Amino acid sequence: MTTLVTGIGELATLDDSLDGADHDEGLGLLHDAAVVVDDADEVLWVGPASAAPAADRRRDVGGRAVIPAFVDSHTHLVFAGDRSREFAARMTGTAYDGGGISTTVAATREASDEELRVLLRERVDEMRRQGSNVIEVKSGYGLTVDGEERALRLAREVTDEVTFLGGHVVPVEFASRRDEFVDLVTGPMLGAAREHARWIDVFCEPHSAHAFTGEEARTILEAGRAAGLGLRVHGNQLGPGPGVRLAVELAAASVDHCTHLTVADVDALAAASETTVATLLPGVEFSTRSPYPDARALVDAGVTVALATDCNPGTCYSSSMPFVIALAVREMGLTPAQALRAATVGAAASLRRSDIGVIRVGAQPGLTTLDAPSHLHLAYRPGVPLARLLDLSAPPLLDSREPPT
Find the binding residues for ligand NIG in span 305-334 (CB under 6 A).
310, 312-315
Give the nearest distance from C-beta 388 to Fe ion in angstroms.
Answer: 25
Pairing, β 367-370 against β 65-68: antiparallel
Instruction: Give min distance, CB of 38 to Fe ion, in A.
Output: 34
Residues of this chain that interact with Fe ion (CB under 5 A) are 310
What are the start-end ranges of the H helices in 279-394? Answer: 282-288, 295-301, 321-332, 336-341, 347-350, 377-380
Draw the binding track, 216-245, toward ligand NIG (x: CB under 6 A; -: no contact): ------------------x--x--------
376-405: contacts with ligand NIG (CB under 6 A): none
Binding mask 252-291 for ligand NIG (x = CB under 6 A): --------------------------------x-------
Half-sphere exposure of 36 (CA within 13 A, CB side): 15
CA angle 366/371/377 to nearest 5° reads: 100
* 3-class DSSP state of 300: helix
Q: How far apart are CA 177 and CA 174, in angstroms?
A: 5
One of 28, 100, 243, 322 touching ligand NIG (CB under 6 A): 100
Counting Cα atoms < 13 Å in the Cβ hemisphere of 216 gives 24
The set of residues, in sequence order, having a beta carbon less than 8 Å from that of 39 and lying 6+ positions away, is 1, 3, 392
Nearest-angstrom CA–CA distance, 141 and 333: 33
Site string for ligand NIG, 334-373 (x = CB under 6 A): ----------------------------------------
Q: Give the total of residues touching ligand NIG (CB under 6 A).
A: 13
Q: Which is nearer to ligand NIG, 149 or 310 (CB)?
A: 310
Give the DSSP H/E element, type plus range, for residue 56. none
Q: How far is the CB of 165 from Fe ion (least distance, A)?
A: 8
Task: Residue 233: name its binding partner from Fe ion, ligand NIG, none (Cβ under 5 to 8 Å by kind).
Answer: none
Q: Kindly state the smallest distance separating residue 216's Cβ from ligand NIG, in Å.
A: 15
Bridge partner residues of 30 (DSSP): 11
48 in Cβ contact with 7 (< 8 Å): no
Q: What is the total residue count of the chain?
A: 405
E strand or H helix at 154, and its extent? helix 145-156
Nearer to ligand NIG, 14 or 202 (CB): 202
Cβ count within 10 A of residue 246: 22
Question: To the nearest whole angstrom, how small is the minimum distance from the Cβ of residue 291 to Fe ion?
Answer: 18
Dmax (CA) for the chain in angstroms is 69
C-beta of 171 vs 313, nearer to ligand NIG: 313
Are 124 and 134 in contact, with CB atoms under 8 Å apart? no
Residue 295, beta-bridge partner list: none
At its nearest, how many Å lie between ligand NIG and the CB of residue 281? Answer: 7
Site string for ligand NIG, 7-46 (x = CB under 6 A): ----------------------------------------
Closest CB to ligand NIG among residues 219, 237 = 237
Q: Quick one: which segment of 12-20, 97-105, 128-136, 262-270 binds ligand NIG (CB under 6 A)?
A: 97-105
Q: How far is the CB of 151 from Fe ion (least distance, A)?
A: 14
- Smallest distance from ligand NIG to CB 311, Å: 9
- 319 within 8 A of 130, measured Cβ to Cβ: yes
Q: Please give the residue ranges that form the binding site for ligand NIG (CB under 6 A).
A: 98, 100-101, 104, 203, 234, 237, 284, 310, 312-315
